[in-house]
Amino acid sequence: MRTRVLEIDGLQVVARIHGSGPQTYVLVHGLGMSSYYFRPLAERLARRGTVVSVNLPGFGPTRDPDKTLRIGQFARVAHQATDRLGLGPAVWVGHSMGTQIVTEVALQRPDLVQRLVLLAPVVNEAEKNFLTVCLRFTQAAVHETLPSVFATARAFLRAGPRYVAEMVPALLNHPLSRRLAQVSCPVVLVVGEKDALTPPDWVARLRQCNPGTTSHTVFGASHQMMHTHADETVAVIAADETPPWRPRLRQLTGELLRGLRPGRRIRSTPSGSPVLLLHGLLERPGHLWRLADHLGAHGHRVITVPGLGWNIGSLERGWRAALEALGEHRDVVVVAHSKGGLIGKRLLLEAGDQVRGMVTVATPFQGSVLATGFSRTPLLRRTPLGLFDPEGDELRALAADADVDHRIVSLIPTRDPIIPDGSHLAGATNVTLPQVGHFAPLQDEEVWALIRHHVTRLAEHSPGGG
């Protein structure tokens, strides 16, 4: 790796250069980050050509500028830096806020951009609210690896909270979809499967605004896919540089080998009771896909509730969406996570004998630290977190309706930082899990088997039974 320190109009830029070769890649980091975060990706891309990771003014090893820069100014500094390095046309790869910057580079200097690759493009223009963005970032962060979380924290501390905070308005106000519509080069969108900052409707909007845009999902990844899933991300970035048959052959071979694994069921005919899945706050139905596959492989017809969206609405909105998804299904058992369990209990009260019972994991029947103190202010009480206030009207009313509690199985993680008081429900079957965490139990096959056991048990009893 080589390092070049550049002075551009009184601003400092530090470029880290990996590899050599005719194909050039320029990597531009996001808010608070630096080239360090791109290192796993840069080292792999360097096998294909020259990789330049740019540290923008005020981030990583560079000194702070005298004033806060706008997105367009960062773009100007970035392409002037590549001019100084004599790079010529390149594939420009931006991450998070960096996607806004490289888009501006493509508009300011189209001669320098062969292709744009936007990793985790932000900000979803349907949710340009600081508090909502913070919630989405937190939701994405719980799916990151510990090294990724620590690297993010170090980068933010190094950049300085004040400088990062000064950049937030520029991040929120950038009209990415409108600017992307004016870009003439090919555009590739790359999003993490578990990234709450890049929901499918936002990705679809970006894809539709420019006919030269394609999108790819990195499965298992969240917001920082270039750090946690570098191999998969490189494969997408370099897809146009490999024979078109190779990735398809690799995919077909992988599917064949997975299908030959002992005990794997490719298809199943529904024979067990129908199961209605209810996901939690700031989750989507896809967050429970592994559990859904497990239940489906064991003969259960799985029903999801797309109408919940990100599940930020009221309990009434939630149970009505769930009731609509039930349709004509009968003898259904609800399987829920977190807030989904609160909706599920209300559904049991409203749906009559359509629903046999519920198995729920990590449900805040007694409230959550997300709400304690925080949502008791008049303004924040109206946010989605207000529901979890132990003294709130909705939670207290739900607790008072105990007629269906005996039809509920509450699975309680040994330690849950989101619900430190646990999710015990008087009158229910309460089972303490050995697993730790609010989300981790849903990834454990032992928990899936336990859920399936209780689903079968509930299905064997009539709704009115004890």
Q: In terms of domains, do 138 and 38 share one?
A: yes
Using DSSP bridges, classify how beta strands 113-119 and 275-278 pair: parallel, antiparallel or unpaired.
unpaired
pLDDT value at residue 159? 58
Distance CA 118, CA 99 (A): 5
In a domain, 266, yes or no: no
Same domain, 11 and 59: yes
Phi-psi label, residue 220: left if phi above 0, alpha if psi -120 to 50, beta otherwise: left
CB of 206 within 8 A of CB of 212? no
In this structure, how many other beta carbons lie within 10 angstroms of the beta carbon of residue 300? Answer: 23
Whether the Cβ atoms of residue 97 and residue 122 lie closer than 8 Å to each other: yes
CATH of the domain at 438: 3.40.50.1820
DSSP, res 30: -
Q: If you ran DSSP here, which 8-state letter would residue 386 be given?
A: G
| Same domain flag for 238 and 279 | no
Residues 440 and 328 in one domain: yes
Q: Is the dihedral of CA 255, 257, 258, 259 positive or negative?
A: positive
Structural domain of residue 399, as residue ranges?
275-459
Domain co-membership, 298 together with 205: no
* Residue 430 counted as domain residue: yes
Please indicate, yes or no, if residue 255 is contained in any of the structural domains. no
Residues 210 and 285 in one domain: no
Strand residues in 164-260 grouped as ranges (E): 187-192, 213-218
pLDDT at 406: 94
Is the residue at 261 inside a domain?
Answer: no
Beta strands 24-28 and 408-412: pairing type?
A: unpaired
Identify whether 123 is preceded by a cis peptide bond (ω within 30 of 0): yes
Phi, psi of 175 (to 5 degrees): -85, 75
Task: Say if residue 255 is exposed, middle or buried (CB neighbours under 10 Å; 0-12, 13-18, 19+).
Answer: exposed
Residue 148 tokens, joined:
């990724």
DSSP class of residue 437 equals S
Percent of the chain with pLDDT over 70: 85
For residues 155 and 232, membership in a common domain is answered with yes
Q: Which of 242, 258, 288 is the last residue of a domain?
A: 242
- Per the structure, how many domains does the chain have? 2
Choose one of 217, 242, 267: the last residue of a domain: 242
Does residue 48 belong to any structural domain of this protein? yes
391: Cα separation from own chain's centroid: 30
The whole-number pLDDT of residue 83 equals 94
Cα within 13 Å of Cα(391), Cβ side: 7
pLDDT in tens, 140-163: 888 877 777 776 666 666 656 666
Residue type, 282: L
Domain match, 32 and 153 both: yes
> What's the pTM?
0.52
- In Å, what is the CA distance from 25 to each residue of 3, 20, 22, 192, 350? 16, 10, 10, 21, 57
Residues of the chain with pLDDT under 50: 242-269, 373-375, 465-466
Within this chain, do residues 186 and 332 fall inside the same structural domain, yes or no? no
Report yes or no on 464 lying in a domain: no
d(CA 170, CA 96): 13
- Please say whether the beta carbons of 170 and 70 come within 8 A: yes
215 shares its domain with 363: no
Confirm if 88 and 113 have CB atoms less than 8 A apart.
no
Give the pLDDT score at 381: 56
The answer to whether residue 249 sits within a structural domain is no
229 and 137, same domain (yes or no): yes
Which strands sit side by side in the sheet containing 2-8, from one edge to the other? 2-8, 11-18, 50-55, 24-28, 90-95, 113-119, 187-192, 213-218
For the stretch 426-435, pLDDT in tens is 899 999 888 8
Q: Is 142 exposed, middle or buried (0-12, 13-18, 19+ CB in 10 A)?
A: middle
Say what the pLDDT of residue 257 is.
44
d(CA 106, CA 119): 15
User: Both tokens of residue 358?
Assistant: 């519920």
Ramachandran class of 160: left when φ > 0, alpha when ψ lies in -120 to 50, beta otherwise: left
Q: How far apart are CA 434 and CA 364, in angstroms?
A: 18
Residue 263 lies in a domain: no
* Residue ranges in 37-160 assigned as alpha helix (H): 39-45, 71-85, 97-108, 130-141, 146-159
Q: Residue 13 has what pLDDT?
A: 94
Q: What pLDDT is stored for residue 218 in this prediction?
A: 84
**Cβ within 8 Å of residue 464, ≥6 positions away:** 353
Q: Which of 218, 242, 266 is the last residue of a domain?
A: 242
**Residues 237, 280 within the same domain:** no
